[in-house]
Amino acid sequence: MKVPDLFNLSGKVAMISGGGDGIGRTMALALAEAGSDIVVFSRRLAKCEEVAHEIEALGAEALALQCDITREDEVDLVVQQAIQKFNKIDILVNNSGRTWGASPEVIPVEAWQKVIDLNINGTFLCTQKVGREMIKRSNGKVINITSYSGSRGTDPAYFDALPYNTSKGAINTFTKDLAVKWAKYNINVNAIAPGWFPTKMTEWTFDNRGAAILARIPMKRYGQLDELKGVVVFLASAASNYMTGQIVGVDGGLTAW
């Protein structure tokens, strides 16, 4: 197979949670640019519909759906609607996530539970439901969005977010263990661990702690969202067929020291 063919996603169908803005939107557009049809879903339907229009302008088909991924019934419905429209699901990008910043000793229990419920339990629900469809066809690509902070502690001077970091550490292990469990079904399970990228989630931190963050990044700059496009297409395509259980860092060298 020639190199362009390895990365060609024509005829594929991808689902992206939290795809209405930020990293999720970027990845949805990247997969569409590579030829995939897209199902984009989140709690904010209007945002998903905007992205769906962008995808259709690229020549791909798109389906925008509203879904709270912490609710099993809503995840079931989204998967059903995707199958009804496209008859299959080839790629799942588990992107939805949230954070909470506070010192560990003062974090409200409810805040901890919200982060864990969305970042871990929501990822599990989407993966299980979509995975069942992939198993039927003995084929699939699951791509989890984790974080550089899932593999280490972070300086509270600029990132005091124990619930978030804990949840991403769990997603790292979830990725590796699921890869082992589902290899027999020809399902690849990998993860992308971004460093610092400009999104609504990082806006306050950049404005208030930006100097401390940049001092830690070897490349001395934040990532640009388009710099995530190549890695998600790689992990969704035939180019990564012999790769599973891997966490791919895209962080400007942040985890290199």
3-state helix, strand, coil in the chain (%, to 5): 55, 15, 30
CA distance 77 to 98: 22
Q: What is the C-alpha separation between 251 and 222, in angstroms, rounded?
A: 8
Is there a contact between 200 and 22 (Cβ–Cβ < 8 Å)? yes
Sign of CA dihedral 248, 251, 255, 257: positive
Give catalytic status of residue 164 as yes or no.
yes
Catalytic residue among 164, 185, 222, 242: 164
Angle, CA 201 vertex, CA 156 and CA 42 arms, to 5°:
135
Q: Where are the alpha helices (DSSP H) in the chain?
A: 3-6, 22-33, 45-57, 72-86, 109-116, 123-137, 162-182, 203-216, 229-236
Element (H, E) at 17: strand 13-17
Sequence-distant (≥ 6) Cβ neighbours of residue 35 within 8 angstroms? 8, 9, 10, 11, 12, 60
The catalytic residues are 164
